[in-house]
Amino acid sequence: MSKADLVLTRGPVHTGDAARTRASSLAVTGGRITAVGHDEVRELIGPGTEVVDLTGKLLLPGFQDAHIHAVYGGVELASCDLTGTVGVADYLARIRGYAEAHPEQEWITGSGWSMESFEGGLPTRQLLDSVVPDRPVYLTNRDHHGAWANTRALVLAGLDRDTPDPADGRIEREPDGTPSGVLQEGATALVARMLPPVTAADRLEGLLRAQRLLHSLGVTGWQDALLGVFNGQPDPSDAYLAAARSGALTARVTGALWWERDRGAEQIPELVERRAALAHGRFRAGSVKIMQDGIAENFTAAMTSPYLDGCGCATANSGLSFVDPLALRGYVTELDALGFQVHFHALGDRAVREALDAIEAARATNGWRDTRHHLAHLQVVHPDDVPRFARLGAVANMQPLWAAHEPQMDELTIPFLGPERAAWQYPFGALQRAGATLVAGSDWPVSSPDPLAGLHVAVNRREPVAADDRVFLPEQRLDLASAIAAYTAGSAFVNGHDDAGVLAPGRWADLVVLDRDILTGPPEEIAEARVLRTYVGGELVHAAD
């Protein structure tokens, strides 16, 4: 009997395999799992076998992220970082400090400010002018659907009271029409196009920086949710291809090619060409990203009924459908016929319905194809549409960290949705009970890429460190085993990594070792666990200090 390259033993081992959910030992040979079981696996230990003692530690399938922007996130780690605080004074101190530390930079750029920090969710250009008056400043908010610019940036971009709003966005304005400093959705490109270019070297460095971070969090594969030029941001595809060709890409990555929403079906042949060109090693781009709407906080998420105003009265605004819903059906049908997966951004209940209608049209025309279309975000889902996911084979792509009471939810969302619609938010439990396939992602750098934090909120419906002890829609909680399945087997399925996600003989040895068994510990302590080791194909890609 040939001996194993690696044996992890004296479990617990959570396999994710319904036929054998728990084991105590696992063997790896040639990058694949060769045995899962108990003491009999130890017979595969030979003189050259690496042995890892798991006593007290939990072995899981490697986590996969089904919706992330890894290159953007890695690049932003090197810019002005406003995450981790909601204090306006903190923001201004960080911006001033970053500008002083980087006098050579023509523009001050960064990300991470939170709408909840400002009245109405809207900071002003004057605040930025007070700390950086002499150079242009452009800072995206934490959800990346809006940006904050100072006066110098607005002037350089040629924005004034006469500048019209683009069709897919909005310029926030002062009473006389002068831009106030906040740009929503497609309006961000009006300033972003002026930014100094992010070079190919910057993008590659950002990818590798992100990969190190993600491996340290137990992430072994992901789907990059936007490969293309978007709102002035460069296409990150070249970074993935370069890393894959050089062998520096250790993760397994699926890319979602950006659907240009101001164009139609004429772009499909270009997507076919890009899919063929963007395939090497552990990287391939077989998905197409269609952003159907915006976000609820700035009232651009597409709803089936109008938003409310501050007094609780219906407004004339029901959000934006970026792609004509009838045309969408034709586009998705053609993409499906060509074997593309469609990765929808669908946040409001109208956008969710429009995406499901498009999948239904594709099924009616093409029959059932294994294209694994998925809807990401799913903030508001009309109850009538919940059972359609299973019926259509539409995958529910959750971002669990958002399903909690926090100021942006309580102050900028719930009052403008109203009580009935607010109760339809992030219906993970309802989708699971209706038979939908659940997968999970972070949307990093919009929110933390830590799967353990996401698992914590999926199970508890509370943030890991929350002063607010309320549970957000408790009937939508998931049990921990189901949440783990979404982050492992589920996301591996939607990412097309069929040999990952479950610990079973013949599968890739994509593994993560935690410092404790979260399945037997208190659910309120899930986020306290830490990753000790991460393996991809049996190779150690992260070891904690």
Residue 379 to residue 357: CA distance in whole angstroms? 18
Q: What is the mean pLDDT of residues 516-533?
A: 97
Out of 140-144, 255-259, 355-359, 440-444, least confident range: 140-144
Residue 98 to residue 108: CA distance in whole angstroms? 8
Is residue 231's pLDDT more than 80? no
Look-up of token digits 């993970």: 428
- 442 contacts 401 by C-beta, under 8 angstroms: yes
> Of 230, 229, 227, whose CA–CA distance to 240 is shortest?
227
**How confident is the model at residue 168, as a pLDDT?**
87
466 or 180, greater pLDDT:
180
**How confident is the model at residue 335, as a pLDDT?**
98
Per residue in 346-363, pLDDT tens?
A: 999 999 999 999 999 999
305 or 446, greater pLDDT:
305
Residue 139 to residue 123: CA distance in whole angstroms? 11
Would you place residue 6 in the very low, low, confident or very high pLDDT band (cuts 50, 70, 90)?
Answer: very high
- 405 contacts 451 by C-beta, under 8 angstroms: no
- 138 contacts 189 by C-beta, under 8 angstroms: no
- 424 contacts 480 by C-beta, under 8 angstroms: no
**How confident is the model at residue 545, as a pLDDT?**
81
**How confident is the model at residue 437, as a pLDDT?**
98
**How confident is the model at residue 20, as a pLDDT?**
87
Per residue in 245-268, pLDDT tens?
A: 999 999 999 999 999 999 999 999
121 or 416, greater pLDDT:
416
Would you place residue 116 in the very low, low, confident or very high pLDDT band (cuts 50, 70, 90)?
Answer: confident
Q: What is the mean pLDDT of residues 188-205?
A: 94
Average pLDDT, the chain: 96
Is residue 466's pLDDT more than 80? no
35 phi and psi angles, rounded to 5 deg? -160, 145
Counting residues of the chain whose pLDDT is more than 90, the rounded percentage is 91
114 or 292, greater pLDDT:
292
Is residue 197's pLDDT more than 80? yes
- 286 contacts 402 by C-beta, under 8 angstroms: no
Pairing of strands 6-9, 25-29: antiparallel
Joined tokens for residue 86: 């909601």
First vs last C-alpha separation in the chain = 35
Would you place residue 145 in the very low, low, confident or very high pLDDT band (cuts 50, 70, 90)?
Answer: confident
Rounded (10°) CA dihedral 488, 492, 493, 496: 180
Q: What is the mean pLDDT of residues 416-421?
A: 97
Per residue in 80-102, pLDDT tens?
A: 999 888 899 999 999 999 999 99
Length of the chain: 545
